[in-house]
Chain A
Amino acid sequence: MAFIKLNDLEIEVEDGMNIVEIAREHGIEVPHYCYHPGLSRPANCRMCLVEPHVFFPPAGAIVPDRQLATGCTTTVRTAPPERKLDGKYDFIVRTDSERVKKAREDILEFLLVHHPLDCPVCDQAGECDLQDFSHRHGSDKSRYLEVKNIPPKKDLGPDVLLYSTRCIVCTRCIRFGQEVSGSGELGLINRGSHDEIDIPRSHDGTPIQLLDNKLAGNVVDICPVGALISKDFLFKSRPWFLEKASSVCSGCSVGCNITVEYKADGVYRLKPRFHEDINQHWMCDDGRLGYHYVNSDDRLQLPLKRVDGELSPTHWADALSVITEQLSEVEAEDIIVIGSAQGTNEDNYVLQQLAHDVLKTTQLGLFGQLPGEAHKFPQFTIEADKNPNMAGARTILGSANGNVVLEGDALWEKVSGAKVVYLVSGAPERPLEDAEKAALESVDFLIVQDVLPSEITELADVVLPGTTFAEKDGTFTNSTGWVQRIRKAIDPPGEARLDWEITQQLAKQLGGEMNYHFAGEIALAIAENVPGYQDATHQNIGDAGIKLA
């Protein structure tokens, strides 16, 4: 630990931390553009200048250093006893001296000379570092009279646009491509004030390589200004109108921490949220752009019941009574309850209780998305398992005595002979394989709980509208054993209900004694009954998640 003096604060910090981070931890803003904690530090924006103090022997005093230093590259180390300043400090630095303030103002003036100042039509306005820092540290006027550079707007790839005029050439996007995704599509062309970010192009300007890797969307997040813009979000909303909910991506079993940004009418975008051990600062485009089904007009909004071979809308009481009727007629061994790896631990726990305590069946199954492609990047991994909660669902469903959780071929074999199957899917656009289809077709009475019409709902006798990750509270357990919270952002469409609520209602109608009021209550029950989840209450998990022992 190093003992430093930051402005007037005397603080202990870990060795190797840089001034920008130290200041941020203590609530002091050191403005910066090129520095990003997940990337290398070229110190090219010169915005984070701070004033280190050194001992000046001729004066016998500690004085400000001759040159200002960039805070991002100035790291703190414990000094040997004889080199301590004032006998105790390992480092003395000021971020609020007149010299620093002037330097910031000067740099901001340079940054803005070629900037178009088109904030009224810029997507980034409201979450733009250039705006914020200009407001807080910049000058209120421009002395620039000359003509501004107008480099062209560029289409870089499937989801990314480059408004070159707004670019401040901090090179975060280039470094991201080199260091995190390893694909290196982006680079600088031209020189000096004509610097432009671009993808490789042939002489006539046609792209040789597009910015189309699976992590491309991150460059939009890390762009401190409005230069790199997501086509998906372009002109859709002003960021200050968006509400935010901390959640977890449901795209694969990595469990990237995300922020769901939404308005009353739906989810607008997903942004990665920092988690040191899981996704650092990043998320993949599959997850980032995979939220559209939540807002889909096709979402199941009413329960459906098969009448004369056709699925037709009905009301909840009717749908549930049909199911209750069917379930009470058959023997326990003819019922199979299939949980979902897309559902939360809470959903699956209630489902497991229904099966074990009410229906008295030990035959459970686990359903989810088909495995997809895995991708490995230098600093990021996308897993093949496209379900956010495979590990959690497996444990929770199998937690009660004697429960057998079947998966894959074994499950479909069992389903073929079953009379009633209660299948919770929640997996959007899940295609059915031939064996699966054949097995489900052979079921006498198929109850499907899902969010979107699909091949599965087509086979169902009753369809119950469930909810997506954006509409419910709960926890997911990722492939490395992290239990993390998802939070309700928007209301479910129509009469769709929380999955565990549906299951609980069914259990009640069948004579079960379940009375949960909210997901946190179920989590308490999980903590009590499921081995390994002792600490996994919502209160404990918080925003950071907890790792199972």
Chain B
Amino acid sequence: MVQERRILYEHLDVPDINTFDVFRQYDGYTRFEKAIAEYQPEDIAKMVMDSGLKGRGGAGFSTGLKWSFVPKDIKPCYLCCNADESEPGTFSNRYVLEKNPHLLIEGILICCYAMGIETTYIYIRGEFTLGKKMLDAAIKEAYEKGYLGKDVRGTGLNIDIYSHPGAGAYICGEETGLIESLEGKRGQPRNKPPFPAVEGVFGKPTVVQNVETLCNLPFIVGNGVEWYTQMGPTYADTRANPPTPDPNTGTKLYCISGDVNEPGVYELDLGLTCTELIEVAGGLRGEEVKAVIPGGSSAPILTHYELDTRLDFTSLTLAKSMLGSGGIIVMNETRNIVDCLLNIMKFYAHESCGQCTPCRWGTPWVRDIVQRIADGNGRKSTMTRPKFGVAENGRWGDTGETEDIYEDLDLLESVANNIANVDTMTWNTICVFGIAVSWPAVSYMRKFRPEFEATIREGQLVTLPVAEATVPPEENYAYQQRFVPKEFADL
């Protein structure tokens, strides 16, 4: 049985940890003081680079690498803390903000020291009223104790933090959408490049970091890089010569919800499998696992064939899914995948910012197609066509059989792929919202095609038994890269 390893959440349950005094008793701000006393800013940046910390917001981009892109000679430079946690199925930042906001402030202080930043904006989700209240109180306290403001603790650093509530748009969690919103404009993502590291808030270099990423910094500084890299697997990317290490170090706050007995946030090492995770969360509620969403609603779904997939950034990318924000939703055999997809597509159609054409008019279209199928009005042609699949010679091709033509499923796949192509991983949209829509749409449809077909045939929602509902891996190209290729191996 895998044990939780609480680092970020270690003192979460301590009464009054949100106050400065109690936080101080539990080593609060000592890591920041250590950073100032023992390290130069460049040392901190190097430690973060060496620790292999990957951004916890969703993309899993190396934090140290991101910092290295920030030009050193342009000032002011800003830090934006992304606390706009709005991915469905994700709720880990919220507890940090509500219960232990000083930890976030300490992380921000370390980041500001490392990058020479004087102003930080915390863009906090508008619905987090309690979190905002707690955070504001903590910021006020930190100012009073001299950890924020002019000349922090006599070190000559000037660090200010402003908290800014969002107005409820999902897209403001995208870093450039967040910046636009912060600047007082409509929350619409910008064209990249330039990336925020070069041109961000108010046209200045900006580091945008998730709450969880920043909360990792005190522990990296406090306990050292060696201690941190012990947690989680480090793979070797052998496509490069010599092989480059691809670290997935540290712990992750997994938000487990759905059909498990004890849903909640669990802090675990990266690299555990789905099965282990479900065990940690009190086991499955129901008979068998039908599907697992590994990283928030925009991640491609995993079937019961893929429960041995490791939940870390690299493994999930190779499995053609993503860890994203770590919002894991488990579904048991009673769940109807068409209905799940409809729910998710409604969300994305509603949350599309409407800036660029494919997303603005593609997302409601996809939703409408799924709605039509779920309503029992999906179209099936009376004709058949040759079936493509793994042929006798073991290669992809004409199998000699015929298959029914489900026009609406073809249309769904085509429209979703026109927003963002999940096979080539290219998108015609400005931001990655496009792929966040087509990923679930295409993966649900491909991996649970029998259930979609049955729904169209029967003219109503049909929930098939798990074995029947799922397309076996060897038969479907949706799985093509599921298995870890040889060039990636444990170091």
Binding site for B on A (CB under 8 A): 42-47, 49, 58, 66-68, 70, 73, 103, 106-107, 109-111, 113-114, 143-146, 168-169, 188, 190-195
Point out the residues of chain B lying under 8 angstroms from A42, CB to CB.
Answer: 191, 355
Say whether B235 faces chain A, with CB atoms less than 8 Å apart.
no
Closest 10 CB pairs of A and B: A192-B352, A106-B418, A195-B354, A146-B368, A192-B354, A193-B364, A110-B361, A44-B356, A43-B191, A44-B355
Closest to B361 in A: A110
The answer to whether A188 and B418 touch across the interface, beta carbons within 8 angstroms, is no
Contact check: which of A46, A58, A143, A191 meets B358 at CB < 8 Å?
A: A46
Chain B residues within an 8 Å CB radius of A58:
239
Q: Determine whether the beta carbon of B427 is less than 8 Å from that of A111.
A: no
Most B CB within 10 A of own CB, among A67, A70, A109, A111: A109
Is the Cβ of B428 less than 8 Å from the Cβ of A68? yes
B164 at interface (Cβ–Cβ under 8 A)?
Answer: no
Give the chain B neighbours of A143 by CB distance below 8 A: 411, 414-415
Q: Are B357 and A111 in contact (CB under 8 A)?
A: yes
Q: Are B352 and A49 in contact (CB under 8 A)?
A: no
Contact of B365 among A45, A47, A146, A168 (CB under 8 A): A146
B352 CB contact (under 8 Å) in A107, A144, A191 = A191
Once bound together, how far apart are the Cα atoms of A141 and B363, in whole Å? 20
6 A-B interface contacts by CB (under 8 A): A44-B356, A47-B357, A68-B426, A111-B361, A192-B364, A193-B352
A67 touches B350 (CB 8 A): no
| B residues in contact (CB < 8 Å) with A | 169, 186, 191, 239, 349-358, 360-365, 368-369, 372, 411, 414-415, 418, 424-430
Q: Note all chain B residues with C-beta closer than 8 A to A49.
A: 428
A168 x B428 contact (CB < 8 A)? no
Which of A46, A111, A146 contacts B428 (CB under 8 A)?
A46
Known: A43-B430, A46-B429. 20 other contacts (CB 8 A): A43-B356, A44-B356, A49-B428, A58-B239, A66-B424, A66-B426, A67-B427, A107-B357, A110-B360, A110-B362, A111-B361, A114-B361, A146-B364, A146-B369, A146-B372, A168-B357, A191-B354, A192-B350, A192-B352, A194-B354
Q: Given A109-B418, A146-B368, are A45 and B353 neighbors across the interface (CB < 8 Å)?
A: no
CB distance from A35 to the nearest CB of B (A): 12
Cβ-defined contact, B411 with A192, below 8 A: no
| Chain A residues touching B, majority SS | loop
A324 to B462, CA, bound (A): 100
The CA-CA distance from A123 to B178 in the complex, in Å, is 39
C-alpha spacing A106/B411, complex, angstroms:
13
**A448 → chain B, closest Cβ, in Å?**
57
Q: Contacts of A73 on B, CB cut-off 8 Å?
A: 191
Known: A44-B355, A70-B191, A103-B428. A195 touches B360 (CB 8 A): yes
- Complex: chain A residue closest to B426, CB-CB: A67
A192-B428 contact in complex given A42-B191, A143-B411, C-beta closer than 8 Å? no
Q: How far is the CB of A170 from chain B (nearest CB, A)?
A: 9
Complex Cα distance A405/B24, Å?
89
Whether the Cβ atoms of A107 and B364 lie closer than 8 Å is no
Inter-subunit contact B365/A113 (CB<8 Å): yes
Known contacts A46-B358, A144-B365; A191/B428 CB under 8 A? no
B353 CB contacts on chain A under 8 angstroms: 191-192
Q: Which of B358, B360, B364, B365 gathers the greatest number of chain A CB atoms within 10 Å?
A: B360
Residues of chain B within 8 A (CB-CB) of A109 are 418
Complex CA gap A204/B144 in Å reads 47
Q: Which single residue of chain B is at the shortest CB-CB distance from A108?
A: B357
Tell me, in angstroms, the Cα distance from A113 to B358 when the chains sit together: 11
Judge whether A110 and B357 touch: CB under 8 Å. yes
With A42-B191, A110-B357 in contact, is A192–B427 under 8 Å at CB? no
Contact A106 B354 (CB under 8 A): no
Of chain B, the residue at the smallest CB distance from A45 is B357
Q: How far is the CA of A143 from the CA of B409 in the complex (A)?
A: 13
Please name the residue on chain B nearest to A143 by beta carbon: B411
Cα–Cα distance between A46 and B353 once the two chains are bound (Å): 15
Among residues of B, the one whose C-beta sits closest to the C-beta of A187 is B186
Contacts of A188 in B (CB 8 A): 186, 354
B407 and chain A: residue at smallest CB distance: A143
Q: Does the CB pair B186–A113 fall under 8 Å?
A: no
Q: Out of A66, A144, A192, which one reaches B351, CB within 8 Å?
A: A192
Cα-based distance from A58 to B358 in the complex (angstroms): 32
Q: Which residues of A contact B415 (CB under 8 A)?
A: 143
Are A169 and B358 closer than 8 Å at their CB atoms?
no
CA distance A325 to B372 in the complex (A): 89
Closest CB of chain A to B155's CB: distance in Å? 41
Alpha-carbon distance between A42 and B431 when the two chains are bound, in angstroms = 12
**Cα A169 to Cα B424 with chains together (Å):** 28
For residue A45, which residues in chain B have a CB less than 8 angstroms away from its CB?
Answer: 356-357
Q: Chain A residue with minimal CB distance to B186?
A: A188
Q: Are A193 and B428 in touch, CB under 8 angstroms? A: no
Whether A46 pairs with B350 at a CB distance below 8 angstroms is no
Closest A residue to B240 by beta carbon equals: A58
Using A143-B411, A193-B361 as known contacts, say yes or no to A46 and B186 having CB atoms under 8 A apart: no
Expressed in whole angstroms, the minimum distance between the Cβ of A253 and any Cβ of chain B is 38
Complex CA distance for A143 and B365, rounded to whole angstroms: 10
Identify the closest chain B residue to A113 (Cβ): B361
CA distance A380 to B73 in the complex (A): 37
* Beta-carbon nearest neighbor of B190 in chain A: A42
Distance in Å: Cβ of B241 to nearest Cβ of chain A: 10
Residues of B within 8 A of A43 (CB): 191, 356, 430
Contacts of B354 in A (CB 8 A): 169, 188, 190-195
Q: A191 — which chain B residues lie within 8 A by C-beta?
A: 169, 352-354
Bound CA–CA A43/B354 (angstroms): 13
Name the CB-closest residue of B to A33: B357
Residues of B within 8 A of A106 (CB): 358, 418, 428
Q: How far is the CA of A144 from the CA of B191 in the complex (A)?
A: 29
State the Cβ distance, B239 to closest chain A Cβ, in Å: 8
Say yes or no: A193 contacts B360, CB within 8 Å: yes
Report chain A residues within 8 Å CB of B169.
191
A175 CB to closest chain B CB (Å) equals 13
Q: List the B side residues contacting A169 at CB < 8 Å.
A: 354, 357, 360
| A89 → chain B closest CB, angstroms | 21
- Chain B residue, CB-CB nearest to A112: B361
User: What are the residues of chain B within 8 A of A44 when measuring CB–CB?
Assistant: 355-357, 430
A49, B328: Cα distance in complex, Å: 36
Q: Which residues of A contact B429 (CB under 8 A)?
A: 46
How far, in Å, is A84 (CB) from chain B's closest CB? 21
Q: Which residue on A lies nearest to B359, using beta carbons?
A: A192
| Chain B residue at minimal CB-CB distance from A41 | B191
- Given A146-B368, A192-B354, A195-B354 in contact, is the A110-B430 Cβ separation under 8 Å? no
Chain A residue contacts of B362, Cβ below 8 A: 110
How distant is the Cα of A169 from the Cα of B353 in the complex, in angstroms? 12
Distance in angstroms between the alpha carbons of A168 and B355 in the assembled complex: 10
